């Protein structure tokens, strides 16, 4: 039998479909069954699995389960799924039943992974930025992956649908492709060959020159990036992921797959390190092991809650599509094009596909699969692969909608940009005119379905309302001549008014907007309004939850800007430009509670420490629509 490499992960779920994602090292004849938890005999679903071979040892599967006939799945009832595979002798075996890697210990009678479809959102989890070797700001519990808190919350409220979180939004930087610790690259390089069956090569130019990443010494990739493309801006690119297999290996680890990091100095030397930084290696390895120590919790969490994802830049490379100049440099040669294509194809396979499977037709999937299985660096298939991945003409290839209450729109703020006031070298507007028109049209279509005054949930990796102190710091740095890339100047500031206009001046009336975002490596909550030209206001609550595992940007200065007191690095609440706002740079998972009108009423920032220590409170920010 083939081995499961990661998953099952529960993906898009609504009253018409349930989607379960899985990765394996060989073919698997899969079947999904769906049950209401109090009747584990009657299967209420029809299984429709799809498997895609992406390499000799890598298959990704999406098992779609549709309701029988014209039925709809019941809302507000605990549902369970079973994932089975057919063995060579024709018999079936379950991958999920009583599998304690994906069900909660002591399951209280629930022997299968479970979830529910809510009639309206009550408690939603969200978070961003999971860097395994991050130097985090406080010791102890804070060093583990705070996404694992989600598993604790589900286990605690397993059967209590009023309290159990209904969905998890991962708002970007699920992996850091450009900022990779040496032990992790060593692992990825080894795994990559197993998955793909060969040492992938990256084309450099039309003359046939190529880069073979497996031949570059650990810690030596920044030089190769500079040599072969001037677009890369990451300051941490010594171990940048380059091949599809390397991206895939990192996702498998991030989603709870097995992690095996080379241990000894000798092994380290065998991986062709350029330096003798054995102690840096040891520290990074220790941090990464701590991060991955919760990997079983991550597997259980992802199997037991519908998970929605969107990229930020680090899934592909730092500052991805930062501005027009960046794009021209990066996409100007074969090397940059292929690396970005590999990153995006991996995003599709591991994140994008399950968000909205209907968006990706056979042709799209075959272009990726055919190219990766051809093991060809150049030629028609390879060109088609690059062109498809880098095609930015479709406004909603990566953005998607969810028929939830509130109505959810997950925005793509990376591939649909346009130049802002600073021209080709300045900060971009995060959504161009086509993307804004698309947003306006989906809001209007939704109004036809729901009538006026419906609540909206927007998911934007980058916060729409910036944190004033940090943005001021960026302004100063910018005036001092630092580049947009150097100061991470990517925000809605350029284009904020256009977004506000899109929402308030469309022909539809939105009752209130909740925004979930990540990106910035500190968490904050703010209540404000979108205003239209006539002066009427739409309440907006923006809940930023970041990071799950990382430290604030700007080093010492950034860290201190987030401090109120001189003492320990604590949570705090203080007004920012007239609005109440809670800020913390501790690593946390956001838990957002919605009120009955579909507007966010509270954000609780949960950490492993707050869940396990009676002396430690979660930071809670509670508010009403007037910002009080």
* Residue 326 phi, psi (nearest 5): -60, -45
Within 349-388, which residues bind Fe ion (CB under 5 A)?
A: none
Contact 48, 60 (CB under 8 A): no
- Quickly list DSSP for 174-227: SS-SSS--HHHHHHHHHHHHHHHSS---EE-STTS-EE-GGGSPTT-HHHHHHH
Encoded one letter per residue, x for contact with Fe ion by CB under 5 A and - for no contact, window 85-124 reads ----------------------------------------
- Comparing CB distances to Fe ion, the nearer of 173 and 446 is 173
Contact 530, 513 (CB under 8 A): yes
Contact 442, 507 (CB under 8 A): no
Shortest Cβ 176–Fe ion spacing (Å): 7
- Comparing CB distances to Fe ion, the nearer of 234 and 369 is 234
- Comparing CB distances to Fe ion, the nearer of 314 and 338 is 314
Shortest Cβ 177–Fe ion spacing (Å): 12
Residue nearest Fe ion by beta-carbon distance: 129
Within 172-231, which residues bind Fe ion (CB under 5 A)?
A: 173
Shortest Cβ 517–Fe ion spacing (Å): 12
Strand order in the sheet with 167-170: 307-309, 167-170, 123-127, 589-594, 600-606, 619-622
CA-nearest of 389, 353, 344 to 241 is 344
322, two tokens: 């930062």
Shortest Cβ 555–Fe ion spacing (Å): 15
From the CA atom positions of the chain, what is the Rg in Å?
23
Number of residues forming the site for Fe ion (CB under 5 A): 2
Cα distance between residue 483 and residue 161, in whole Å: 49
Within 523-542, which residues bind Fe ion (CB under 5 A)?
A: none
- Comparing CB distances to Fe ion, the nearer of 336 and 518 is 518
- Comparing CB distances to Fe ion, the nearer of 402 and 464 is 464
Shortest Cβ 562–Fe ion spacing (Å): 15
Cα distance between residue 63 and residue 20, in whole Å: 5
CA 275 to chain centre: 32
Cα distance between residue 254 and residue 292, in whole Å: 8
Shortest Cβ 173–Fe ion spacing (Å): 4
Shortest Cβ 576–Fe ion spacing (Å): 21
- Comparing CB distances to Fe ion, the nearer of 129 and 435 is 129
CA-nearest of 507, 508, 543, 310 to 409 is 310
From the list 3-11, 129-137, 215-223, 367-375, the region that binds Fe ion by CB under 5 A is 129-137
Beta-strand runs (E) in 43-113: 45-55, 58-67, 78-86, 92-94
- Comparing CB distances to Fe ion, the nearer of 61 and 314 is 314
Shortest Cβ 129–Fe ion spacing (Å): 3
- Comparing CB distances to Fe ion, the nearer of 212 and 557 is 557
Instruction: State the burial class of residue 612 (Cβ atoms within 10 Å of its Cβ: 0-12, 13-18, 19+).
Output: exposed
Shortest Cβ 206–Fe ion spacing (Å): 35
Shortest Cβ 448–Fe ion spacing (Å): 37
Q: Which residues on neighbouring strands pair with residue 428, listed in sequence order? A: 419
Shortest Cβ 549–Fe ion spacing (Å): 9
- Comparing CB distances to Fe ion, the nearer of 178 and 246 is 178
- Comparing CB distances to Fe ion, the nearer of 152 and 173 is 173
Cα distance between residue 497 and residue 505, in whole Å: 11
How many CB atoms are located within 10 Å of the residue 348 CB?
23
From the list 6-14, 142-150, 166-174, 207-215, the region that binds Fe ion by CB under 5 A is 166-174
From the list 68-76, 128-136, 335-343, 385-393, the region that binds Fe ion by CB under 5 A is 128-136
Residue 155 interacts with Fe ion (CB under 5 A)? no
CA-nearest of 429, 393, 595 to 512 is 595
CA-nearest of 108, 60, 577 to 349 is 60
Cα distance between residue 73 and residue 64, in whole Å: 13
From the list 100-108, 171-179, 283-291, 558-566, the region that binds Fe ion by CB under 5 A is 171-179
37, two tokens: 């938890």
- Comparing CB distances to Fe ion, the nearer of 406 and 547 is 547
615, two tokens: 């002396």
- Comparing CB distances to Fe ion, the nearer of 123 and 545 is 545
CA-nearest of 459, 465, 348 to 413 is 459
**Axis-axis angle for helices 380-390, 362-374 (nearest 10):** 130
Q: Which of 129, 515, 527, 543 binds Fe ion (CB under 5 A)?
A: 129
Q: 358: which DSSP letter?
A: G
From the list 100-108, 110-118, 167-175, 572-580, the region that binds Fe ion by CB under 5 A is 167-175
- Comparing CB distances to Fe ion, the nearer of 129 and 592 is 129
Shortest Cβ 251–Fe ion spacing (Å): 16
From the list 37-45, 168-176, 414-422, 557-565, the region that binds Fe ion by CB under 5 A is 168-176
User: Strand pairing of 167-170 and 30-36?
Assistant: unpaired
Encoded one letter per residue, x for contact with Fe ion by CB under 5 A and - for no contact, window 294-333 reads ----------------------------------------
- Comparing CB distances to Fe ion, the nearer of 246 and 315 is 315
Run of H or E including 475:
helix 468-479
From the list 68-76, 170-178, 364-372, 483-491, the region that binds Fe ion by CB under 5 A is 170-178
Shortest Cβ 426–Fe ion spacing (Å): 22
Shortest Cβ 131–Fe ion spacing (Å): 7
- Comparing CB distances to Fe ion, the nearer of 179 and 446 is 179
Shortest Cβ 521–Fe ion spacing (Å): 6
From the list 46-54, 62-70, 169-177, 588-596, the region that binds Fe ion by CB under 5 A is 169-177
From the list 106-114, 118-126, 165-173, 250-258, the region that binds Fe ion by CB under 5 A is 165-173
Cα distance between residue 49 and residue 488, in whole Å: 41
Residues that bind Fe ion (CB under 5 A): 129, 173
């Amino acid at each position: 039998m083939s081995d499961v490499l990661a998953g099952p992960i529960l993906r898009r779920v609504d009253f018409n479909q349930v989607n379960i994602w899985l990765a394996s090292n060989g073919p698997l004849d899969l079947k999904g069954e769906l049950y209401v938890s109090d009747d584990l005999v009657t299967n209420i679903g029809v299984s429709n699995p799809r498997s895609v071979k992406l390499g000799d040892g890598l298959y990704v599967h999406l098992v779609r389960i549709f309701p029988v006939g014209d039925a709809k799945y019941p809302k507000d009832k605990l549902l369970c799924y079973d994932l089975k595979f057919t063995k060579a002798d024709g018999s079936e075996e379950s991958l999920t039943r009583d599998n304690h890697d994906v069900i909660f210990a002591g399951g209280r009678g629930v022997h299968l992974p479970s979830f529910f479809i809510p009639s309206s959102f009550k408690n939603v989890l969200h978070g961003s930025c999971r860097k395994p070797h991050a130097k985090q700001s406080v010791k102890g519990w804070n060093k583990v992956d705070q996404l694992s808190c989600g598993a604790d919350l589900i286990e605690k409220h397993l059967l209590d649908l009023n309290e159990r979180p209904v969905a998890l939004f991962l708002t970007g930087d699920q992996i850091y492709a450009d900022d990779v610790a040496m032990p992790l690259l060593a692992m990825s390089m080894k795994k990559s060959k197993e998955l793909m069956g060969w040492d992938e090569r990256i084309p450099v130019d039309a003359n046939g020159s190529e880069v073979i990443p497996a031949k570059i010494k650990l810690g030596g990739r920044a030089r190769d990036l500079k040599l072969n493309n001037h677009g890369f801006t990451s300051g941490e690119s010594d171990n940048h992921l380059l091949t599809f297999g390397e991206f895939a290996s990192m996702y498998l680890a991030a989603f709870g797959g097995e992690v095996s990091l080379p241990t000894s100095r000798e092994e380290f030397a065998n991986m062709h390190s350029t330096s003798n930084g054995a102690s840096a290696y040891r520290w990074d390895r220790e941090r990464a092991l701590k991060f991955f120590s919760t990997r079983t919790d991550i597997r259980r969490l992802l199997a037991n809650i519908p998970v929605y994802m969107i990229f930020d830049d680090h899934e592909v490379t730092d500052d991805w599509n930062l501005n027009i100049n960046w794009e021209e440099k990066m996409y100007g040669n074969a090397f940059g094009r292929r690396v970005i294509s590999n990153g995006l194809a991996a995003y599709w396979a591991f994140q994008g596909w399950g968000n909205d499977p209907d968006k990706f037709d056979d042709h799209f999937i075959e272009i990726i699969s055919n190219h990766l299985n051809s093991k060809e660096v150049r030629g028609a298939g390879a060109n088609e692969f690059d062109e498809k991945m880098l095609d930015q003409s479709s406004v909603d290839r990566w953005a998607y909608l969810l028929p939830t209450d509130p109505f959810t729109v997950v925005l793509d703020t990376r591939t649909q940009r346009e130049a802002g006031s600073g021209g080709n070298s300045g900060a971009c507007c995060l959504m161009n005119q086509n993307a804004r028109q698309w947003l306006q049209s989906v809001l209007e279509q939704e109004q036809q379905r729901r009538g006026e005054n419906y609540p909206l949930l927007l998911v934007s990796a980058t916060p729409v309302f910036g944190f004033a102190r940090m943005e001021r710091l960026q302004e100063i740095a910018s005036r001092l001549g630092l580049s947009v890339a150097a100061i991470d100047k990517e925000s809605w500031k350029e284009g904020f008014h256009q977004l506000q206009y899109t929402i308030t001046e469309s022909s539809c009336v939105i009752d209130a907007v909740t925004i979930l975002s990540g990106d910035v490596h500190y968490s904050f909550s703010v209540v404000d309004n979108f205003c239209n030209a006539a002066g009427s206001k739409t309440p907006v609550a923006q809940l930023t939850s970041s990071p799950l595992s990382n430290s604030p940007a700007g080093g010492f200065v950034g860290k201190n800007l987030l401090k109120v007191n001189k003492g320990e690095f604590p949570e705090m609440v203080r007004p920012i430009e007239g609005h109440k706002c809670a800020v913390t740079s501790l690593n946390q998972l956001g838990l957002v509670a919605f009120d009955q009108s579909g507007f966010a009423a509270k954000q609780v920032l949960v950490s492993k420490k707050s869940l396990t220590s009676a002396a430690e409170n979660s930071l809670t920010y509670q508010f009403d629509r007037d910002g009080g």
